[in-house]
Structure 1
């Protein structure tokens, strides 16, 4: 696989050339970007998947929702609906996509919308009677047609963008120079004990004069379903089936796995077929089934016994208050200017 990626290097040059021309046209105003009279925060990455966008969006919701009317807008990856869709009581993962549906279930008091055309999505949200005061754009760093007021770039600690190559040789969606559009950079999925010296080395290699923060994935001490919860420490040695359909499941498995556990791995955003469900039931037998929160929203109505999910959240190693203030200052200044 690695050899094949290097053989495809000429295509990486071509892809990088195309994306660079596109960005140049937007930077020069030849291709039009649309701005809106509302604070818009775009969260995204340069690489393909696995940087922790959903936990970061949820962090922002928790930070802002007590003082502002919040809406999230994403394309709704792999959903079976089309056009603009606003989440309601009839929504499910097939209509919204797994991540927007997860957010809708966790934060029922905010607007959760999907639309591949982000400009149209924002326009539709602003037509609502109870329209949002802040819009969070999920996975929109490359969506240049809408100009956000604040761009947050995520880069995973184990796959830092400045060490990577453009697709298909590497995992970058565009050149590393795209990071210059970021107003804030967060290095995600760090070890909790990442030293100050290691942080400073990464900051130096990034080489941009923007605030740079370091976060880690904080796993819950309990697993849940709609009816009950169980402490992780009480089930860690219990026979169980661990199931994940996410981009980089290794930390999830490492947190829960014991010697006799069975693992099942599926592609990111996997739609579980009847055959998949039967295979899961056969392998689970009478075991507990523990999955990720994103997978749970697609599996919870599949009649799987003893199905639980493990919640996660994004936490900062240090300077979390500085990050919060950066966001609050931007939103507060923008709303006052309106």
Structure 2
């Protein structure tokens, strides 16, 4: 992989110029951004996957759902459908995409969940629903500049800050680091739970915030038990099991389980992996429990032959200066 990225170095300036020129067209008003006169919050990143967008969207849903009518809008990455689709009890993960499917299964009855590659069209479709959404959460839309969100939340991983990365294909950035200037809030995700002050200052100095930006640090809170749709098992003292992951960065989860002293085999697949019938047969042959992420569980739970051994580990995020973060979000909504 490193070799392929090394030989791709001559391509990087071309990619940098194309993405930079596109951003300039929006900055100069030569390409149109649509602004809506109601709260639109964008959660995204500069890099390709693995920064924790899904837990952040879920955090915002929990923060807002009791006081506002919420709609989430994603493009539905790797889904097998096109255009606008509103989640319902008859829609599958393959049709909706695994993350939106997860939002719907967890929060249905409280929010609208929709997918549309054209975010403007998706928002307009959601606006005619009854009840009409009051707050829109755009998932992974930081580069979708046709919509001008009122509040931009940019995520970057603690162990791979965007300031130390490069644009594709040499690095993992979708656009140059200057894209961070559009953010109102920057959240450093997947931090150690107890991050000391000096390390926070070091990160802040590297990021070099603009005057209008605020920086927060977040960490993953893992549940003490893995669960399925009908049962659960405690992790502490669990006998050898198999960990199955199809996410961009499984390292924090693997590290957490090892720190618990657990004995497991890790079957690691690429992000948004579509499990095949051969994979399922391999899982059927396992005598140990299978623990996976919630996102992967959404794709695997349809296979009845492994249902009795399949569990997922729920996660949430914790944010330092929680009250300040929450107040920024709530004040934005109140003022709009």
TM range (shorter): over 0.9
Measure, in 1, the Cα distance between the counterparts of 2:88 and 2:58: 18
What corresponds to 2:200 in structure 1?
Answer: 199
Measure, in 1, the Cα distance between the counterparts of 2:257 and 2:196: 25
Instruction: Determine whether 1:53 maps to 2:53.
Output: yes
Instruction: Determine whether 1:120 maps to 2:121.
Output: yes
Tell me the CA shift for residue 260 of structure 1.
4.6
Tell me the CA shift for residue 261 of structure 1.
2.0
What corresponds to 1:82 in structure 2?
Answer: 82
- Which runs of structure 2 are paired with 1:67-146 in the superposition (5 Å)? 67-108=67-108, 109-146=110-147
- Which runs of structure 2 are paired with 1:161-240 in the superposition (5 Å)? 161-209=162-210, 210-235=213-238, 238-240=239-241
Tell me the CA shift for residue 38 of structure 1.
1.2
What corresponds to 1:323 in structure 2?
Answer: 325
What corresponds to 2:289 in structure 1?
Answer: 288
Measure, in 1, the Cα distance between the counterparts of 2:6 and 2:63: 43
After superposition, give the CA deviation of every residue in 1:242-291 in whole Å (9 maximum; x if it has no partner). Answer: 11000111222232355752221111111111111112222x2x211101
What corresponds to 2:33 in structure 1?
Answer: 33
Measure, in 1, the Cα distance between the counterparts of 2:55 and 2:249: 14
Q: How many residues align?
A: 329
Tell me the CA shift for residue 201 of structure 1.
1.2
In the superposition, the TM-score normalised over structure 2's length comes to: 0.96
What corresponds to 2:265 in structure 1?
Answer: 262
Tell me the CA shift for residue 37 of structure 1.
1.7
Tell me the CA shift for residue 2 of structure 1.
1.6
Measure, in 1, the Cα distance between the counterparts of 2:151 and 2:251: 31
After superposition, give the CA deviation of every residue in 1:73-108 in whole Å (9 maximum; x if it has no partner). Answer: 000001111100000111120111000000100001
Measure, in 2, the Cα distance between the counterparts of 1:43 and 1:270: 23
What corresponds to 1:309 in structure 2?
Answer: 312
Asked if 1 retains the 8 angstrom alpha-carbon contact of 2:288 and 2:309, the reply is yes
Measure, in 1, the Cα distance between the counterparts of 2:130 and 2:43: 26
* The one of 310, 322, 335 aligned to 1:333: 335
Asked if 1 retains the 8 angstrom alpha-carbon contact of 2:40 and 2:151, the reply is yes
Q: CA RMSD in A?
A: 1.1
Q: What SS is found at the alignment partner of 1:20? A: helix
Q: What SS is found at the alignment partner of 2:335? A: helix
What corresponds to 2:242 in structure 1?
Answer: 241
What corresponds to 2:20 in structure 1?
Answer: 20
Measure, in 2, the Cα distance between the counterparts of 1:227 and 1:128: 32
Tell me the CA shift for residue 41 of structure 1.
0.2
In the superposition, the TM-score normalised over structure 1's length comes to: 0.95
Measure, in 2, the Cα distance between the counterparts of 1:58 and 1:177: 27
Measure, in 2, the Cα distance between the counterparts of 1:194 and 1:259: 24
Gaps of 5+ in 1: none
